[in-house]
A and B are shown apart, each in its own frame.
Chain A
Amino acid sequence: DIQMTQSPSSLSASVGDRVTITCRASQSSSFSLNWYQQKPGTAPKLLITSTSSLQSGVPSRFSGSGSGTDFTLTITNLQPEDFATYYCQQSYAFGQGTKVEIK
């Protein structure tokens, strides 16, 4: 079974900072590597598919990269609305989430 491991589980950052979240898959897969953003009390929002393709309407400060089993979500110039929990996903497996909090 595929498993996704995210790090860190949480981080504190300031507005304007650059933030990097990593996601490691237990095995290489042909499935799309996706990233989601979730704010409290709301459903997740799809940000990125196929490792690096931004969904329509997602700001360009979000970017994704990686290959094989190692993937990264980067947020540059962090904005107040970006404080949320982020999940990676590949096939049926989600990472455990990374909470981005205000420093």
Chain B
Amino acid sequence: QLQLQESGPGLVKPSETLSLTCTVSGGSISSNNHYWAWIRQPPGKGLEWIGSVHYSGTTYYNPSLKSRVTISVDTSKNQFSLMLSSVTAADTAVYYCARDYGDVRTDYWGQGTLVTASS
């Protein structure tokens, strides 16, 4: 059974860079048919798709976040990562890593990790 687990700091200072890693187990990240995604949800609010990466390195980003986001993949560790620069309080959210198949259909999700942007 595929499992995804987010890891990284739960607190980030405003103007700094948020960094999270997702470890995939029970399956290979080097799948031609899947993209690996980050999605976030501010407390009490809705979902926001951040972007995704293919094991080949191809990436897609939400236009509203594109200027601040980098998603990368490390196939040797079966991991992928998110970096979000210049964070503000508005970036406080539960961040989920997930698997996309086809054209942005998210079928497996991590449990999510809360990241708070605060000094």
Chain A residues with CB under 8 Å of chain B are 1, 30-32, 34, 36, 38, 42-46, 49, 55, 87, 89-97
| Contact A31 B104, beta carbon cutoff 8 Å | yes
Task: Please tell me the number of chain B residues within 8 Å of chain A, measured between CB atoms.
Answer: 21
| Contact A46 B49, beta carbon cutoff 8 Å | no
Neighbouring A residues of B48 by C-beta, 8 Å: 94
Known: A44-B47, A46-B105, A49-B102. A92 touches B110 (CB 8 A): no
What would 20 A/B residue contacts be, using CB atoms closer than 8 Å? A32-B105, A34-B104, A36-B47, A43-B98, A43-B111, A43-B112, A44-B106, A45-B109, A46-B105, A46-B106, A49-B102, A49-B105, A55-B107, A89-B49, A89-B104, A90-B104, A91-B103, A92-B49, A95-B46, A97-B46
| Contact A94 B105, beta carbon cutoff 8 Å | no
- Cα distance, A95 to B47, chains bound together (Å): 8
CB of B119 within 8 Å of the partner chain: no
Neighbouring B residues of A44 by C-beta, 8 Å: 47, 106, 109
CB of B64 within 8 Å of the partner chain: yes
Neighbouring A residues of B47 by C-beta, 8 Å: 36, 38, 44, 87, 89, 94, 97
Neighbouring A residues of B110 by C-beta, 8 Å: 43
Chain B residues with CB under 8 Å of chain A are 46-49, 51, 60, 62-64, 96, 98, 102-107, 109-112
Neighbouring A residues of B109 by C-beta, 8 Å: 43-45
| Contact B105 A87, beta carbon cutoff 8 Å | no
Neighbouring A residues of B106 by C-beta, 8 Å: 34, 36, 44, 46, 89
Q: Nearest CB to that of B65 among chain A residues?
A: A92
| Contact A31 B46, beta carbon cutoff 8 Å | no
Neighbouring B residues of A38 by C-beta, 8 Å: 47
| Contact A43 B96, beta carbon cutoff 8 Å | yes
| Contact A46 B46, beta carbon cutoff 8 Å | no
